[in-house]
Structure 1
Amino acid sequence: MSRTTSMRFPFPQQQRRAANYGQDRRPMFGGSRGRGGSGSSFKIRLLIALAIAAFAFISYVTKPGDLNEVTGEVEKVAMADEGDEIQLGLQAKPEMVSMHGGPSRNVAAQQQVQQVGWRLLEGLDRQLDEYNKAHPDANRHNPYEKAFQFTLLADPKTVNAFALPGGQVFITEALYRALETEGQLAGVLGHEIGHVISRHGNKQMARQGLFQGLAGAIGVLGGNQQSAQMAQMVSSAIFMKYGREAELESDDWGVKLTYQAGYDPRAMEGVMRILDEAAGGASPPEFLSTHPKPANRVAYIDAAIKKYFPDGVPDGLRQ
């Protein structure tokens, strides 16, 4: 339920050798000169590639870590100030809303999305309060709480939900209408809240510079367009891997938040079935996708439920 941006890395084409042998004035038996020139060219490309890769790597690893106020983990992010994340999300919101036909005109459905979203945030607050009570030295809190906004989009065809950095959460009417219970809606929104509080978009922006640098180094080393394309494929595959890991982490948050809000977390398994049916078996291989396959996510969600509820999910939860 997230977006990735494809990146291109153009490099100059390798110069073609002269096809007219009459233009080559080198001695017939002077091959060492040609080999030396080719070797020198490779050494130069190697040095440039190493410099690019080293700069990208050092820039990333020396980036100071920032404390995640929700999880307590120190993370490498592009924006250390949560206020910058919030402003970025607000700036991007109008375009995203416009791309999906504007806000839904279904007032009752819009209110339900907002009510369930706030119920999930209240559950997160309770979870953080419980942690702080058990750890008196901790001060975990949700810095995005007042910035969160939940919007039902009018798009009737795109089955999707997504979040922007800082707390802008969206679900399309196409997905909303496909859901069968309010618990499933809670699972979708809980997953998207997980993206925000885990700062996935912010962390991906920090990694993007590293991947661009490494891909650029591979392209320079190869010295031709094919090498540049291969570098792009490698970079994209790595970037997608991080995307899949973020999706599973957000599924874990979805399990916790749905329960804290009073919903049965097993409703998330139903969401995966709906997404699988919506894809119609046309999804690409998992290693070429930013999202794990819904069937695989069901197994992960089931494992998370067993982890948090080893004695079984309590009775009396909303479906």
Structure 2
Amino acid sequence: MRRGGLNIRLLIGVAIAFFALFKYCSNAEVNPYTGKKQHISISPKEEIAIGLSSAPQMAQQHGGLHPNKQYQQIVDIIGTKLVNNSIAKKSGYPFEFHLLQDERTINAFALPGGQIFITFALFSQLVDESGRLNEDMVAGVLGHEIGHVIGRHSAERMAKQELTQGLLSGAAVGFDPNTAQGAAVIANAVNMKYGREDELESDDLGVRLMVKSGYNPKYLINVMEILKAAAGPNRTPEFQSTHPDPENRIAKIKEAIRKYQ
């Protein structure tokens, strides 16, 4: 009886995992802006809706929007120029750029559908040797985040998380706890690898957008140096992180500059 119960559990677990894999594989398409085959389960309209509904909460987590309208206007002008002069305009995403009041967290990020944020902590670091704001560096940050949007990285990550959750649920039902735990470790490593690939692809797209819009892409390297300094000497090793090592990113950015210039 006990063996029969285990067999039934195993069949149910396999069925759950198979359904998750089937659903993931059936949603395949080629991204027209990257040429990469992707598995995505939501539409661009759904991405836009998710981004718009999440934007207020994300801004609130970083102290709200920055009150300086002049700084915000600079971000808007640079972001709009990057979109209008590149493949991003063809995407149909309603891009909006937000300068956050956060003066401690050096960061920038994009939500699905075109909502892009940069903290004042990072914005204030994007200066030349004389301390003046360097618009090419701002363009590097925004171009990278636009790359995440047109690369549909958030939507792709959602689909991978659904697949991972389905496979883990199947393992938990059909196998012993140790096997399920091992599957979770493997799944986490795979997701981190895909995260690093997304960052490198966004760097490449960022360089492409900068060149098309008349910005000097070498300043994206300066941005990487700022991020490297902000991470400090005790930053997480690349194999444990969703972000590539800054040195590897710089090497890839130099390759992209040679390719697009």
User: Which one has a larger percent helix, Structure 1 or Structure 2?
Assistant: 2
Alignment partner of 1:186 is 2:150: no
Q: 1-side partners of 2:34 and 2:241: how far apart? A: 27
Stretch of structure 1 that moved more, 40-49 or 268-277: 40-49
Q: Secondary structure at the match of 2:92?
A: coil
TM-score scaled by length of structure 1: 0.74
Q: Does 1:121 align with 2:83?
A: yes
Could you give the per-residue CA deviations for residues 216-272 of structure 1, whole angstroms, max 9, x where no partner exists?
A: 233344422x44433322222111111111111100011011111111111111111
Is 1:110 aligned with 2:72? Answer: yes
Give, in whole Å, the separation in 1 of the partners of 2:251 and 2:5: 51
Q: 2:115 aligns with which of 163, 168, 171?
A: 168
Matching residue of 2:256 = 304
Match of 1:61 in 2: 25
Which amino acid is 2:125 matched to? Answer: A
Partner of 1:30: none
Alignment counterpart, residue 278 of structure 1, candidates 230, 237, 249: 230
Q: Which runs of 5+ in 2 are unaligned?
A: 128-133
Matches within 5 A, 1:80-95: 80=43, 82-95=44-57
Matched, 1:142 2:95: no
Q: Does 1:79 align with 2:42?
A: yes
Structure 2 Cα separation of the partners of residues 45 and 59 of structure 1: 21
Q: By how many angstroms is 1:192 displaced?
A: 0.3
Paired residue secondary structure (1:151): strand
Query: What residue number does 2:106 align with?
Result: 159
Moved more, 150-159 or 47-56: 47-56
Q: Which residue of 2 aligns with 1:23?
A: none
**Following TM superposition, by how much is the alpha carbon of 1:215 offset from its aligned partner in structure 2, in angstroms?**
2.1
Q: What is the alpha-carbon distance in structure 2 between the residues aligned to residue 98 and residue 242 of structure 1?
A: 28
Matching residue of 2:169: 216
Aligned to 2:193: 241
Q: Distance in 2 between matches of 1:198 and 1:223?
A: 38
Q: Is the contact between residue 45 and residue 223 of structure 1 (CA under 8 Å) also seen in structure 2? A: no
Question: Does the 8 A contact of 2:207 with 2:217 survive in 1?
Answer: yes
* Partner SS for 1:256: helix
- Percent identity over the alignment is 47
Bigger Rg over Cα: 1
- Residue number in structure 2 paired with 1:196: 149
Give the Cα separation in 2 of the matches to 1:169 and 1:207.
22
Asked if structure 1 preserves the Cα contact closer than 8 Å seen for 2:147 and 2:205, the reply is yes
Tell me which residue corresponds to 2:131: none
The alignment status of 1:257 with 2:209, answered yes or no, reads yes
User: If the length of structure 2 is used for normalisation, what is the TM-score?
Assistant: 0.89
Name the structure 1 match of 2:11. Answer: 47
SS in 1 for 2:256: helix
Which has the higher mean CA deviation after the structures are superposed, 66-75 or 269-278? 66-75
Unaligned runs of 5+ in 1: 1-35, 129-140, 310-319
CA gap of 1:74–1:149, structure 2 versus 1, over 3 A, is same
Do 1:114 and 1:150's aligned partners in 2 also have CA atoms closer than 8 Å?
Answer: yes
CA distance in 2 between partners of 1:235 and 1:46 (Å): 20
Q: CA RMSD in A?
A: 2.1
Matched letter for residue 106 of structure 2: V
User: What is residue 32 of structure 1 aligned with on the other side?
Assistant: none
Aligned residues: 255
